[in-house]
């Protein structure tokens, strides 16, 4: 598998949020939370005991891939991630590419059930031959907000 890009942590890690950035006291409190972190030692102890909670993350992922020197081959788009229980790969989409249509768009929504903290998410491609030239025209992985998260955003606005 060829790693194409690392997904930014801002897409899958929920950090502290500043409720009112114009209020100096709240802004100062928010900055202190950022400096202190999330207490990773406590989370790792819980995860090591196998008691870390499961949560579901949903992503909209898409890749526009252009291949050179193509003679009919299958390519696949994966998300590879590591959480507290190990490393996993999830198939996003796959397609056959040939010389007549050397470009392909691979896209889908995918849900990841993760245990504890996500350490990384990588966008990967399988099916490329050794030394084969390719070009990624577009690649994105965006977290899909749940209805509850959307409602919370509307209340804050």
- Please count the other Cβ atoms lying within 10 Å of the Cβ belonging to residue 90: 17
| 82 DSSP β-pair partners | 87, 120
Strands 120-126, 2-6: pairing kind: antiparallel
**For residue 13, what are its two tokens?**
């890690």
Whole-number Å distance between alpha carbons of 150 and 141: 18
Confidence of residue 79 (pLDDT cuts 50, 70, 90): very high
Q: What is the pLDDT of residues 14-49, one digit of tens each?
A: 765 666 667 777 767 766 766 665 555 455 544 454
Whole-number Å distance between alpha carbons of 120 and 17: 21
Q: What is the pLDDT of residues 102-154, one digit of tens each?
A: 899 999 999 999 998 899 999 999 999 888 899 999 999 999 976 665 565 55
Q: Is the pLDDT of residue 91 over 80?
A: yes
pTM above 0.85, yes or no: no
């Amino acid at each position: 598998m060829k790693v194409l890009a690392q997904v930014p942590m801002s897409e899958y890690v929920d950090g502290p949020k500043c409720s009112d950035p114009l209020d100096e006291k709240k802004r100062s409190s928010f900055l202190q939370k950022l400096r202190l972190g999330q207490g990773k030692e406590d989370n790792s102890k819980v995860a090591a005991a196998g008691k870390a909670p499961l949560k579901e993350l949903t992503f909209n992922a898409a890749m526009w891939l252009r291949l050179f020197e193509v003679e009919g081959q299958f390519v696949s788009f994966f998300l590879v991630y590591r959480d507290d229980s190990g490393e996993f790969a999830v198939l996003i989409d796959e397609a056959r590419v040939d010389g007549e249509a050397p470009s392909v768009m691979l896209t889908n929504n995918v849900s990841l059930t993760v245990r504890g903290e996500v350490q990384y998410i990588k966008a990967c491609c399988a099916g490329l031959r050794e030394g084969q030239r390719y070009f990624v025209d577009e690649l994105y992985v965006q977290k899909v907000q749940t209805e509850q998260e959307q409602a919370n955003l509307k209340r804050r606005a």
